[in-house]
A and B are shown apart, each in its own frame.
Chain A
Amino acid sequence: MSADRCRTGQWVEVERVLLEPADRAANLPEETAGKPLLVWVKGFALGETAPGDECEVETMTGRIVRGRLSDPDPAYTHTFGAQPTEIAAVGRDLRARLAAWRAAAAGGPGDPKAGE
């Protein structure tokens, strides 16, 4: 069998269609109304299944949920990403500004608000 098939007892994710577009709530925006309402649940696979095939899982609370095997090995890969350029200098600039203002307030030159 393909290595892609999940093993019985493997922690997997299944997807199922909860509502077809025709069955969705009234008054939804067009871009939502035209889409099915989908749900994803993770659990322990109750049988060997190939990705995309129907299977049942037992969830962490012990519910049995049937759906299409959408991910045999779900992972979290969210990150911080690169430092956005727009905020890179915020700390440097604000610290410098604070230091200059405090120096002026302490009697140094240059700040009209010194001595307030």
Chain B
Amino acid sequence: MTGRTEAIMARKGEIMRRALGMDYAEFERSPIAFDYEAMMAAHGYSLDDIVAIQAAVGVGSTPLLELRNLTDLVRSYAEPGHGARIFVKDEAANMAGSFKDRRASMSIHVAREKGYAGVIAATSGNYGAAVASQAARASLACIICQEAFDSTHLGQPEIIEKARICEAFGAEVVQMTVGPELFAHMLELLDETGYFAASLYSSFGVSGIETLGWELATEMRERTGAPPTHVVITHAGGGNTTGTARGLKRAGATETQIVSASVDLSGLHMASDTDFNRKSFTTGHTGFGVPFATWPDRADVPRNAARSLRYMDRYLTVSQGEVFYVTEALAKLEGLERGPAGNTAMAAAMSLARDLPRDATVVVQETEYTGAGKHHWAQLNFARERGVEVRAGDPRQNVPGKSIVIPERPEQIRATEMDLGRMRRSYVRNALAHAPDGYEPTPEDIAFLAEDTNSTPEAVEGIVAGLRAGA
């Protein structure tokens, strides 16, 4: 690492404190534990406040649609009496085309309230469009840092489209080649400009998603008389799972099963210059989903507000080919042409609904906009040009980075269950590894780890003992 990178990283705490306008140190309880709920509440906005803030800027109250054709399609091959009702929250109807507007609206509101002249976010995804759009409405300057290209200046059509839409909303887009040093450059830009860090992982942003869970629980009650039995959530950094689940709980939907879903990209290295363009999903995949669930504090804020293991009851993975197939099916059967990444949960929902009784209700809680570049045709053509084999067949034969196998029949869509026990173990291992050498977890630490993994103190003690025995 250069002196320059080291110098800026050494000032990370100071820069982020100024750029977030809050000091995370007050929530720390020990080298392992911190007061999560105090951090989430520190901004002082109630759920009603957030609903009002979002309504004023054109965010939220998106349509909840029942997908009767997709439901009947699943029932046509489910076991008798099976095939849950499938619904979708059409989040593409938000201002900039995705649920990310809910996150961005809160970050931009806070930035404006605190008097910042502009905002900066590091994202190659829909969040950039959302921040740029909300910043435009709030008359704030905006810089979006994107990991956009491989070293030959070749970029995913989806990411190129995100750059375009950010520029369309008046943002400056800083595009970089592959590498984690993007974070250091973002710090340099925060330091240079004095702008607000519109982090995906701040409590402001994640609180903004709570309205989504609250809305869908309330709407399902009106529609069916009860909250949904299952909500399926496309999962990457964990904010979507965390915010939606918290909103469901606030709406009293405590029995609703939280099912996270990611595209399986196992085997592809997220910092690899060559793997970068061999994946057809730039978000909603296991390359973010697993590392962020098992160590959320790898984020660009001192403590990540997105802590998905706290909330997920199940974690399903699907293949790229299955999601592309479902994206096509959704357009043709339901008249909903939406972006492929947002349909990750839709593919998992079709698999889930097949195994549930007919009176169960499954809500897919987002869609995203689509268009040139950010479309399943564009992604499949790009993959093929990169030498990835695209063919019809059994999606079980899909190999990330090598082949995309499009199902021939909907029965072939089968999500894979991730082992949450293993992920909890991995989280506890990471938490211990980030504490100083020789640090002994206190009972308070054990209680924190149990909460943070949706587990029990006894289970965490068992994991700790097992890790010590294996060390």
Residues of A within 8 A of B (CB): 18-19, 23-26, 28-29, 31-32, 35-43, 59-63, 76, 78-84, 86-87, 90-92, 94-95, 97-98, 101-102, 113, 116
A60 adjacent to B172 (CB under 8 Å): yes
The residue on B at minimum CB distance from A39 is: B176
The residue on A at minimum CB distance from B3 is: A23
Residues of B within 8 A of A (CB): 1-2, 4-5, 69, 72-73, 75-76, 80-81, 118, 141-143, 148-149, 151, 153, 157, 160-161, 164, 167, 170-181, 185, 192-193, 269, 271-274, 324-325, 328-329, 331-333, 372-373, 375-378, 380-382, 384, 390-392, 406, 410
Q: How far is the CA of A39 from the CA of B171 in the complex (A)?
A: 16
Partner of B272, one of A29, A63, A95: A29
The residue on A at minimum CB distance from B83 is: A116
Q: How far is the CA of A14 from the CA of B164 in the complex (A)?
A: 16
Given A32-B273, A61-B143, A90-B332, decide whether A38 and B149 contact each other with a Cβ distance below 8 A: yes
Q: How far is the CA of A65 from the CA of B380 in the complex (A)?
A: 36
The residue on B at minimum CB distance from A20 is: B2
A90 adjacent to B272 (CB under 8 Å): no
Q: How far is the CA of A62 from the CA of B140 in the complex (A)?
A: 13
Given A79-B372, A83-B377, decide whether A91 and B181 contact each other with a Cβ distance below 8 A: no
The residue on B at minimum CB distance from A78 is: B373
The residue on A at minimum CB distance from B159 is: A78
B1 adjacent to A32 (CB under 8 Å): no
Chain A residues within 8 Å of B378, by CB: 78-81
Q: What are the nearest 5 A-B pairs in CB distance?
A: A91-B332, A78-B373, A81-B381, A23-B2, A101-B76
A86 adjacent to B391 (CB under 8 Å): yes
How far does the Cβ of B438 sit from chain A's closest Cβ, in whole Å? Answer: 24
Partner of A40, one of B149, B157, B274: B149
Q: How far is the CA of A1 from the CA of B362 in the complex (A)?
A: 65
A91 adjacent to B172 (CB under 8 Å): no
Given A24-B179, A61-B141, decide whether A82 and B273 contact each other with a Cβ distance below 8 A: no
Partner of A61, one of B118, B176, B185, B376: B118
Given A25-B1, A78-B160, A95-B333, decide whether A19 and B167 contact each other with a Cβ distance below 8 A: no
Q: How far is the CA of A26 from the CA of B372 in the complex (A)?
A: 37
Partner of A37, one of B148, B176, B382: B176
Chain B residues within 8 Å of A32, by CB: 178-179, 271-273
B328 adjacent to A87 (CB under 8 Å): yes
Could you list some 5 contacts between A and B, CB below 8 A? A29-B271, A90-B325, A94-B332, A97-B73, A116-B81
B273 adjacent to A29 (CB under 8 Å): yes
Chain A residues within 8 Å of B185, by CB: 18, 39
A91 adjacent to B329 (CB under 8 Å): yes
Chain B residues within 8 Å of A87, by CB: 324-325, 328, 376-377, 380, 406
The residue on B at minimum CB distance from A15 is: B153
How far does the Cβ of A12 sit from chain B's closest Cβ, in whole Å? Answer: 13
Q: How far is the CA of A10 from the CA of B256 in the complex (A)?
A: 55
Q: How far is the CA of A4 from the CA of B272 in the complex (A)?
A: 35
A81 adjacent to B377 (CB under 8 Å): yes
How far does the Cβ of B145 sit from chain A's closest Cβ, in whole Å? Answer: 9
Chain B residues within 8 Å of A29, by CB: 269, 271-273
Q: How far is the CA of A31 from the CA of B178 in the complex (A)?
A: 10
A94 adjacent to B410 (CB under 8 Å): yes
Chain B residues within 8 Å of A43, by CB: 172
How far does the Cβ of A1 sit from chain B's closest Cβ, in whole Å? Answer: 26
Chain A residues within 8 Å of B174, by CB: 39-41
A39 adjacent to B170 (CB under 8 Å): no
Chain B residues within 8 Å of A101, by CB: 72-73, 75-76
How far does the Cβ of A2 sit from chain B's closest Cβ, in whole Å? Answer: 23
A41 adjacent to B175 (CB under 8 Å): yes
The residue on A at minimum CB distance from B182 is: A37
Among B328, B333, B410, residue most surrounded by chain A Cβ atoms (within 10 Å): B328
Q: How far is the CA of A45 from the CA of B367 in the complex (A)?
A: 39
Q: How far is the CA of A37 from the CA of B15 in the complex (A)?
A: 22
Chain B residues within 8 Å of A25, by CB: 1, 5, 179-181
Given A29-B273, A41-B172, decide whether A23 and B332 contact each other with a Cβ distance below 8 A: no
Q: How far is the CA of A76 from the CA of B173 in the complex (A)?
A: 14
B170 adjacent to A60 (CB under 8 Å): yes
Q: How far is the CA of A80 from the CA of B178 in the complex (A)?
A: 24
The residue on A at minimum CB distance from B377 is: A80
Given A29-B272, A91-B333, decide whether A35 and B381 contact each other with a Cβ distance below 8 A: no
